[in-house]
Each structure stands twice: as structure tokens, then as C-alpha cells.
Amino acid sequence: MARPDLCTTEEIRELVDQFYTRIRSDAVLGPIFNQHIDDWPTHLDIMVRFWSSILLGSGQYSGTPMPKHIALPGLDASMFHRWLDLFHQTTAELSNRDMAHQAEELAQRIARSLWFGYQMHREPNRMPRELHHD
């Protein structure tokens, strides 16, 4: 899946910066992210390393995002849909279309995985619901 020739680190930085600019100003997601992220420059650097690892196979990221996400109170499927919508708006503006398509596919998988993990943590005896638009 990862391809070292897919894009540059600068293109990943552009994706991350534009996406989180949208997130931070979003009426629904902005307050959640802003409440839990104290140091935005550090967070953005981590996200660049994360996307470099999964898009380019750089191995620069070694964190565990699931525990941080499942600890957040009150998330629902609409918030994951909103995250995906903002991500899609961002990738739609990227000039590197191969990178945009790959990032879109990965974002769908990430959102689904985090949503499943979140549900399983909150309701371990219930089958998780798919991330579908209603």
C-alpha cells in the first residue's frame, strides 16, 4: 500500500496543515480537537510523521492512536462522518491526485477502525455498528 514515490513530505505537510485548519475551525469537531490538543505544532508534526509512514512507508510514526481516541467522551458516527467530509474537502484540492486517492482510501479505513474500536470500548458486549451515512 505504501509507495515511497507517491508524494513528497512537503505534500504531506500541505495535506495535514490544510486538513487541520478545517478541523480547528469546524463547529462540531473544532471544540473537541481544541480541548484535547494543547500543542498544535507538535500534533501537526506527529500527523505528518503518521501520514508519511502510511503513505510512503517511512516508518517515522510509532504511536498508538486508538487509546487516545477511545478515551474521548461522547463521540458518535456523525462526528466520524464529519471528519471524513473535511478530509475529502482537503484531498479534493490536492494537485497530486495519486496521493489524494491513496489518502482518501486510508482515511476511510482509519475512520472505520477508530469507530469500531471506540464502540467496542464503550459497549464491549454489543456488535459495533458500521460507519454508514444514514
Condensed to tens digits (0 to 9), the pLDDT of residues 112-134 reads: 999 999 999 888 888 888 887 54
- What is the pLDDT averaged over residues 2-23? 96
User: 69 with 117: CB under 8 angstroms?
Assistant: yes
Distant-in-sequence, close-in-space partners of 80: CB < 8 Å, separation ≥ 6: 111, 114, 115, 131
What pLDDT digit, counting tens, does each position of 23-38 carry?
Answer: 999 999 999 999 999 9
Q: Which three cell numbers stand for residue 64?
A: 498508538
Instruction: Name all domains of the chain by residue range, CATH numbers in brackets.
Output: 9-122 (1.10.490.10)
pTM confidence score: 0.91
Instruction: State the chain's mean pLDDT as an integer.
Output: 93
Given this model, what pLDDT does residue 24 score?
Answer: 97
Given this model, what pLDDT does residue 21 score?
Answer: 98
What is the 3-state secondary structure of the chain? Answer: CCCCCCCCHHHHHHHHHHHHHHHHHCCCHHHHHHHHCCCHHHHHHHHHHHHHHHHHCCCCCCCCHHHHHHCCCCCCHHHHHHHHHHHHHHHHCCCCHHHHHHHHHHHHHHHHHHHHHHHHHHCCCCCCCCCCCC
Q: Report which of residues 69 and 104 the model is more confident about.
A: 104
- The pLDDT confidence band at residue 92, using thresholds 50, 70 and 90, is very high
d(CA 28, CA 100): 24
Q: Which three cell numbers stand for residue 49?
A: 510523521
> Does the structure show a pLDDT above 60 at 42?
yes
Given this model, what pLDDT does residue 81 score?
Answer: 95
Q: Report which of residues 124 and 54 the model is more confident about.
A: 54
Q: Which three cell numbers stand for residue 97?
A: 491526485
Given this model, what pLDDT does residue 133 score?
Answer: 59
